[in-house]
Amino acid sequence: MDQHPTTPGQGLTRPSHLRPGDHIVVVATSGPVEPERLTAGCEILRSWGLRVTVAPHARDTHPALGYLAGTDADRAVDLQSAWLDPTVDAVICARGGYGVHRMVDLLDWTAMSAARPKPFIGFSDVSSLHEAFAQRLGLATLYGPLAAGASFVSDRPTAEHLRRTLFDPAATTVLTSPTAGPLVPGRARGVTAGGCVHVLASERGTPAARPSYTGSILVLEDVNEHPYQLDRLLTQFRRSGALDGVAGIALGSWEGCGRPERVRDVMLDRLGELGVPVLWELGFGHCPSTLTVPLGVPAVLDADAGTLTLDGPALTERSD
């Protein structure tokens, strides 16, 4: 299995930005998709001038396990086919839920590494794929809204931030929100990585898991986890060595995780001893209005200013 470990301070390969007329494919890698939301999300993508294809199995539901969007093999084939198709310029996931862990090892990563890099978008359960794209393809990705997700179809700022990131990435190099502020003050430089806490914790101990997030600005968020469950997940992170050498941490939303002050207490207890800056509530993840956060990109975290500033655009200029 090929691995592309991140050198501290050095980002991963960045795909090219999109233009009107480009082709994007919607894949369902995790849970079953709500048809109305899928239709609404595709209409938004088309309104940006994109040609939109829904993958063949994106509307499936597993015949026995109703929490999955089709069989593991079919979900893997949809993603791999879209990635290998030279006419496809970007791939976006339809929704989260659960299922990526079951299909990620069915992908032919050797074949996928030979394909043209392209933007890959999603969050929540898709965190496992972000890690795989970083470790196995050495590719920067976008921790952003899902094509059939509630925030994407109902919140205009969410969709607009993704659109600007894809089409005009130089305009979205500074990430902040009204709720952002220091949990642990300070400033740090590193390469962005991370995602949904409970998904990333499930990666620990698997063959594809990176040894640690050394040199990373680690972005973390979650949903519907009680404070004691967040404590357990972060303790697993610490005990596994995942947080060894981390440069700084940017926290996103904690919808359904209990009172914010209780969540803050857990974060300060589990992360405060690391001696690195920790930014509270940057405004990404499972929240009604969410930012798109590039992963695998060098950035500066300024907890006091409430900002995560990329060294450059998340996507590169087109060569054609």
Q: Answer yes or no: 151 catalytic.
A: no
Residue 6 has pLDDT above 60, yes or no: no
Is 43 a catalytic site residue?
no
Residue pair 195/131 in contact (Cβ under 8 Å)? The answer is: yes
| Rounded Cα distance, 305 and 94, in Å | 34
Structural domain contains residue 319: no
Q: What is the pLDDT of residues 71-116, one digit of tens each?
A: 999 999 999 999 999 999 999 999 999 999 999 999 999 999 999 9
Q: pLDDT by residue (tens digit) across 193-206? A: 999 999 999 999 88
Residue-wise pLDDT for 255-288, tens only, equals 999 999 999 999 999 999 999 999 999 999 999 9
Give residue-wise pLDDT tens across range 116-154. Answer: 999 999 999 999 999 999 999 999 999 999 999 999 999
- What confidence score (pLDDT) does residue 318 get? 79
Same domain, 160 and 207: no
- Tell me: do 167 and 178 sit in the same domain: no
Residue 2 pLDDT class (50, 70, 90 cuts): very low
- 148 and 32, same domain (yes or no): yes
Domain that includes residue 159, residue range: 23-172
Q: Is position 2 within any domain? A: no
Structural domain includes residue 234: yes
- Of 120, 141, 172, the residue at which a domain comes to its end is 172
Q: Burial level of 101, CB count in 10 A (0-12/13-18/19+)?
A: middle
- Residue 7: is its pLDDT beyond 70? no
Which one of 16, 124, 216, 253 is the catalytic residue? 124
CATH of residue 85: 3.40.50.10740
Clarify whether 319 is annotated catalytic.
Answer: no
Q: Please give the pLDDT value at position 221.
A: 98
Q: Which of these is catalytic: 131, 203, 221, 281?
A: 221
> CB-hemisphere CA count at 13 Å for 140?
25
> Is the model's pLDDT at 189 over the cut of 60?
yes
Q: Establish how many alpha carbons lie within 13 A of residue 263's alpha carbon, considering only the half-sphere containing its beta carbon.
A: 20
Q: 203-248 pLDDT, tens per residue?
A: 998 887 899 999 999 999 999 999 999 999 999 999 999 999 999 9
The more confidently predicted of residues 284 and 4 is 284
Instruction: List the one residue out of 232, 202, 5 whose CA is nearest residue 104.
Output: 202
Same domain, 285 and 194: yes
Whether residues 147 and 37 share a domain: the answer is: yes
Q: State the CB neighbour count (10 A cutoff) for residue 47.
A: 10
Confidence grade of residue 320 (pLDDT, cut at 50, 70, 90)? low
Pair 152, 288 in one domain: no
As for how many domains the chain has, the answer is 2
Ranges of beta strands (E only) in 118-241 are 120-122, 141-143, 174-175, 181-184, 187-196, 216-221
CA distance 171 to 187: 22
Q: Are residues 164 and 50 in the same domain?
A: yes
CB 314 within 8 A of CB 293: no
Same domain, 183 and 146: no
Give the model's pLDDT for residue 319. 73
**116 shares a domain with 81:** yes
In a domain, 17, yes or no: no
